[in-house]
Structure 1
Amino acid sequence: MKGLILSITAGQGHNQTAKVLNDEFNKHGIECKFLDVYEYINPLLSDSVNRIYLMSTKAIPKIYGGVYRICENRSINSSIGQRGLARLTNSVLSRKLIKLIQSEEPDFIICTHIFAALLVTHISAIESLNALTVGVITDFTIHPYWEDSLLDFYITASERLVIQGVKKGFPENKFLPLGIPIDPKFAKKMPQQEAKDTLGLAPKPAILVMSGSMGFGNVIQEIKELDRLDLDFQIVSVCGNNKRLKAKIDLLKTRKKICNYGFVSNVDVFMDACDCIITKPGGLTTSEALAKQIPMLMNNPIPGQEDRNVEFLLNSGAAIKISRTSPIDEAVYQLLTDKQHLALMREAMRLLAKPNSARDLVSFVIDTVNARSRA
């Protein structure tokens, strides 16, 4: 048995999900090839798509969000032109990928980005494609572009998204609410004090501020607001690959202790060590936090899918949104002083969490491919 896992670079979440799945298949001794599709077709195309995505979400987020909402509300007639353009684009882009699929003859193809799924949909319409095809939806909503895809199965973050898919015209039995695939290490729990000792943190409450490499929001201002809060805690900042941000935080003069890091490979341990996390509401990070049951304070959502992530998690009682009317210092104060609210939030997170999502998806694919081969 062998397979292809296809992604596209638009931020890093989709690629990270693909790599997690690739590693999980390898554990089962299954030959698997992970491919950034646009990078494979043309590196310049891949770089351009990523730059446009980052520019549109950072520089003109309101326009990006407006386009997203238009796509959500589109009618079939209004999207005919869009679909025609998409078919033409995919017809050009799919030629090299078709040759690869013909050469590899994979038993399954998994797409962790909608653009990869649309390419596979186009190929399956013009070629005899015997592979099992699976789309992984990496948010707590179904992006409107998924409506133009036609795969065998779709992985959703929650059972509650199945009805959303049915309303969009998909058969219910195509949806598998296995969760957004995350690294299996997030399913394990280290005692908090042991995690603090591992990281060299003081034995007192810790607030984890996850910045990431994309540079959204004003992390410096958030840290200053936290520093003014009259509670005894330490601030743990993880800046990812954002070296400029790390350097700025290193220079801050604060009353509270700041433990400032760049890129770390053990985010799971940081989550175990800290009492709450301040983060953008990306699908992957929030899924990891759910698995760890670390209360989330969500800020700076990308208009569009991340707005929908916020709505889903707020409606589930699993997170708090930072805003002008609920500023960061008040939200942290509420979490650290209201133990009943904290317990309710952790229970809501436990009910939503899918810590074994990658393992469950890989098991499903293996069982389904084997059943097909016996049929």
Structure 2
Amino acid sequence: MPESALADLTTLRLGGPARRYVAAPDADALVAAVTEADQAGEPVLVVGGGSNLVVADEGFAGTVVHLTGGGVRVGERFNDRIRRDQRDLTTNSVGETSVAVTVAAGEPWDAFVARAAAEGWVGVEALSGIPGTTGATPIQNVGAYGQEVAQTITAVRVWDRMLRGERTFSGEDCRFSYRHSRFKTDPRRHLVLDVTFRLDRGDLSAPVGYAELARTLDVAVGERAPLAAVREAVLGLRRGKGMVLDAADHDTWSAGSFFTNPFVDPGQVPDGAPSYPQPDGRVKTSAAWLIEHAGFEKGFGLDRPDARVSLSTKHTLALTNRGGASTAALLDLAREVRAGVLDRFGIELVNEPVLVGCAL
């Protein structure tokens, strides 16, 4: 990849060249590459699956460190020499009713979810089909269809670039909230090396917490369903929204949901919009609903001359590259949508992907 553009590493297939490229097949290589760049005063961009990145057309004037290796360990952390029989269920051991699984940062997320469903590890099945690597999941507390990783993460091992040493944060210490964590608050400090999950054992899923998924499975919200059925149902729902990567489908040339669902005061929720009360008194509403009702329908932008970017034809939350697009054009579309929602409803949408070398 050294002579290629970052477009080759992102699901949007956008972004200019990096000054320097380093492949990191394991945690030691990741730490070494980032430490070398830090000591040289060189900016660093760590890239896993590239599914949550919008990179400027000018590229990145620094070192790109690309995670190229993964791995899954049951009952032990990577580089952890503590014997398994000395551990308890709250940390990193294996029990009859639950299992602790440590996943390397570079492990493709959906490969891990597929294995979990096959092994009878319960708790991440509704997160099927999400692109990217496991190390990215705690950063923005990845979630979908009623599950989020905060529900099952027990530990995140990181390299602290400020202290120049390893640290392990418990799930509670990660300060998870909606699409947020302590790692997202301070993105340049911590390199995720591996993530430990505590998952129940069983043939049935966790209680289904999302109405659309429950309807698809023909169960009530709060009921359980076979693990394999939940995984397949989620994959089907995501494919219908263009959220499962497919090189032949330009609706999947995206960064997934481009805007997060906004949290607003109850009086700001438009009539007819979804409304989910929150513990702090605010209400979460739907960014997709706001976009559609502000006049931006699926496929918006495709009717323009020489259209290179548009909203997905399957889901209004995804901004897509129709081929030959530029990051500048994509961001112009994002600004247009954001301004339209603000003008119509007085609610300002916030981007979910990380913007590298560019801004809205």
Please give the TM-score of this superposition, normalised by the length of structure 1.
0.26
Please give the TM-score of this superposition, normalised by the length of structure 2.
0.27
Which one has a larger percent strand, Structure 1 or Structure 2?
A: 2
